[in-house]
Amino acid sequence: MTAVESFLQNEDIHAYLARNQRKELLRFLTCGSVDDGKSTLIGRLLHDTKMIYEDQLAAVKRDSARHGTTGDGMDLALLTDGLKAEREQGITIDVAYRFFSTAKRKFIIADTPGHEQYTRNMATGASTCQLAIILVDARHGVLPQTRRHSYICSLLGIQHLVVTINKMDLVEYSEARFNEIKAQYSDFAAKLDIRDIHFIPISALKGDNIVDAGTHMPWHKSGPLLNHLETVHIASDRNLSDFRFPVQMVMRPNLNFRGFAGSIAAGQVRVGDTVMILPSAKKTRIKSIVMGDGELTQAQCPMPVVLSLTDEIDISRGDMIVDGESPPHFGHDFEANLVWLSEKPLDPDGSYLVKHGVRTTPAHVNIIEGIDVNTLESKPLDALHLNEVARCEISTTIPLAFDPYKKNRSTGAFILIDRQTSNTVACGMILDQESQPGPTDPWANLPGIDNRLRTQVPPTERSKRLGQKPCTVLLTGLTGSGKATIAFELERRLFDMGRTPIVLHGIELRRQIASDLGFSADDRSENLRRIGGIARILNDNGLIALCAVLAPLASVRQRVKKLIGADRYLEVYLSAPLEVCRSRDKSGLYALADAGKIKAFPGISSPYEVPDAPDLTLPTHEISIAQAVDGIIGLMKERGWI
């Protein structure tokens, strides 16, 4: 009778599967400098826990003889080094994942490369892990790549490190050498934000202190590596207090049910809990929690569920359902640590996308300072190259709901994508924000167009008296495209026609009602919200508003259109190219932006998003001011406004 037949005869398969289902899962990675023995360590773990099939073992023996990396012995590193180039060179290049299980726990191992050029692969493997095994060659001690990998583990929120001093057999199992390296690493690690560091001397090749203690290092009393992996406490690592649920899909299987599908990113939720929807900031209650074929009374991170709500609220993919008492930050701007993963350095004027959860938005990146991975000290940094780390300012076009990475790894992490190549160029970890948490979007609860204050003078009487229909003309384009010049000329022409227009000039309004604002994406959004609010009041009183504003972001222009009302809004795009606008500039703004003295200057150091479908496009580098005004007046007449 085979072992499998004996197992099937004597074991209740359903009980076995249920028992394994209940086991806690630990995800960990091995990292460190090249040739420190990471793949060999994993191979030894799998071999000594009897997690290798006979055909796999036979294949490893054949490949060991062919490649000759360990002489006549078996090279256990070949269990994870599956690429041809890895076997030929005896190194790890890509991340390899292996699963194994013991009586106490289930494990997923990420075997990551040690070469500096493959640091991005190491960061990828570390992003989902709870524990990291840092290998150190007992002969060489702590190397720069050891420090780099340790710092990246710290950045990625890994709270448990096991520093394994490997190849102790090559230093005669010296306790003095072990203590020397332990002290060397401890001095460096004192600057890391990691609460749990454990040191174990091992020989991955010989098997000492991996699964069994062995006989060569009786001076080590803390037990072998596997014992630590089976007992390290990880249950408290997850954030179970701040509920976060990014909506991945809206489920509408029938007329009687609307649910929102996704995985709980943090916290827990119960039927009847009060929750908030972002970005609308509306509150409601959880009606039901559905998982699989049944309903639950409560669920927690990281369960995939479908939530239904007691109120009908407009919710789309990318929105977030959160705890109403402890909501995340909400806004366009935040600071983050970036680990650069691309061989192409960061372009300060480049076009990038931030992918945060299920939401993707254009973003601008500005370097604040670099971080030396060897000393963990700040340093000036003009550009960000492969494997470098920097603290950066990120400004996004679409506001995001986020937490500091230390508080929540799911809502505090993002990746940066090059818009031209679609390649992932960096991973980011959001830092603590000084502002108070919660939705700060001033657009969220603006009244609708039909909710304006009651007046004794109806709009029809105003239109008859003034001989016009109220409307807003938004002139948008780069600095120097001619917005103010055309707006004031249009005002003159309309006034001469007996109409009553008023120019809202962006620069003047910044002096009068927006002197408290800067030029970040959030501040520009608020500035345009105020201008849009004034234009709406003018329209409500029967007047024509001519807004000469830069308005660089398409999403904010759409909000102004919704605020004012699509039936009385006209968007005019002045399409003069950047070179022409530069040549017209008499204020010196472009020169200041080129010198880096003006941050987030649209068209130079931050994006200007060209309107997709403006009501009118005027190539002001090809036509005269009079022709531009004629075009606007012609469209206003066509719409019956004048």
Q: Which two tokens stand for residue 419?
A: 């818009």
3-state secondary structure of 178: helix
Question: In a 10 Å sphere around its CB, with 0-12 CB exposed, 13-18 middle and 19+ buried, how is residue 23 labelled?
Answer: middle
HSE (side-chain half, CA atoms, 13 Å) at 48: 21
Angle at 512 between CA 508 and CA 513, to 5 degrees: 115
DSSP string, 565-599: -GGGEEEEEE---HHHHHHH--S-HHHHHHTTSSS
Per residue in 574-632, pLDDT (tens digit) is 999 999 999 988 778 888 888 777 777 888 888 899 999 999 999 999 999 999 999 99
Per residue in 67-102, pLDDT (tens digit) is 555 555 566 656 655 434 444 444 444 677 888 888
Measured CA to CA, the distance from residue 429 to residue 449 in angstroms comes to 40
Measured CA to CA, the distance from residue 588 to residue 608 in angstroms comes to 19
Worst-scoring range by mean pLDDT, 270-279, 412-421, 447-456?
A: 447-456
The pLDDT assigned to 298 comes to: 93
The pLDDT assigned to 449 comes to: 43
Beta pairing partners, 165: 136, 201
What band does 330 get if pLDDT is binned at 50, 70 and 90? confident
Measured CA to CA, the distance from residue 316 to residue 303 in angstroms comes to 20
Beta pairing partners, 606: 602
The pLDDT assigned to 436 comes to: 41
What band does 443 get if pLDDT is binned at 50, 70 and 90? low
Residue 600, Cβ neighbours under 10 Å: how many?
Answer: 21
Q: Residue 349's closest CA among 129, 608, 37, 116?
A: 608
What band does 114 get if pLDDT is binned at 50, 70 and 90? low
The pLDDT assigned to 191 comes to: 84
Per residue in 550-590, pLDDT (tens digit) is 999 888 899 899 899 999 999 999 999 999 999 988 778 88
- Contacts (Cβ under 8 Å, ≥6 apart) of 354: 360, 361, 362, 363, 394, 396, 400, 414, 415, 416, 417, 428
List C-alpha distances in Å: 390 to 151, 321, 332. 12, 31, 20
The pLDDT assigned to 44 comes to: 84
Q: Which two tokens stand for residue 24?
A: 């806690």
Q: Which domains does the chain have, with CATH numbers?
A: 3-237 (3.40.50.300), 244-323 (2.40.30.10), 331-439 (2.40.30.10), 457-638 (3.40.50.300)
Distance of alpha carbon 326 from the chain centroid: 20
Gyration radius (Cα) of the chain, Å? 31
Is omega for the bond preceding 302 within 30 degrees of 0, making it cis?
Answer: yes
First to last CA, the chain: 96
What band does 1 get if pLDDT is binned at 50, 70 and 90? very low
What band does 13 get if pLDDT is binned at 50, 70 and 90? low
Listed in sequence order, the DSSP H helices in 112-240 are 119-126, 144-155, 175-189, 225-231
3-state secondary structure of 236: helix
Measured CA to CA, the distance from residue 80 to residue 87 in angstroms comes to 10
Q: Residue 317's closest CA among 253, 246, 265?
A: 246
User: By 3-state DSSP, what share of the chain in percent is helix, strand and coil, each rounded to 5?
Assistant: 30, 30, 40
3-state secondary structure of 471: strand
Residue 89, Cβ neighbours under 10 Å: how many?
Answer: 14
Does 494 have pLDDT greater than 90? yes
Measured CA to CA, the distance from residue 43 to residue 35 in angstroms comes to 14
The pLDDT assigned to 91 comes to: 44
Mean pLDDT of 113-129: 74
The pLDDT assigned to 88 comes to: 46
Mean pLDDT of 212-222: 91
Name the E strands within 37-121.
Answer: 96-101, 105-111
Name the E strands within 445-494.
Answer: 471-476
Mean pLDDT of 41-69: 68
